[in-house]
Amino acid sequence: MAEAEQKKKSGGGGLMKTLAIVVFVAAISLGGAWYYFNHLAAPASTQESEAEAPKPKANPVYWQFEPSFVVNLPDGAYMRYVKLDIAVMMHDAELPAVLDKHLPVLRSAVLMLVSSAQYDALLTLDGKEALRVAIIEALNARLLALGAIADAGEGIQDLYFTNFVMQ
């Protein structure tokens, strides 16, 4: 009987040791995995996401055309006119100086576009939007032709009518 009790003690102790070793190895493995994913793998994924993410554009810069544009619009028997104040938005902080330098060329482009617009079309929101887009394209085309910008995407990004009066 003493031998049976001794076998139980030695067998039970071996099972407990094995179980303790398994728990210890599992705890070490989980701790190592946690450390790897939180400290070693995270910076690599952060660097990849920063490389893939587009760089934010610089703060927008606004520039106002001065003085206002006043243009005659032919409308059958009546002579109509439109008065516009225009502001443009760009992301290049150096572009306003270029716009100042080439102001006569740019004002001429705007005047030609507006003077060719139809009065009835400018009464609608779609007509005003079409004129806005046409002015942006014309200004960027002039800046591109002057060599002031290398690409139309670098020029004027948006245009705002800050005053729009038709009579």
Q: Length of the chain, please?
A: 167
> How does pLDDT run across 36-80, given as a tens digit for each residue?
777 676 555 455 555 565 555 668 999 999 999 999 987 777 889
The structure's pTM equals 0.65
Identify the CATH class of 61-166. Answer: alpha beta
SS (H, E, C) 112-160: HHHHCCCHHHHCCHHHHHHHHHHHHHHHHHHHHHCCCCCCHHHCCCEEE
CB within 8 A of 106, min separation 6: which ones? 65, 99, 139, 142, 143
pLDDT of residue 30: 67
Which two three-digit tokens encode residue 3? 């031998």
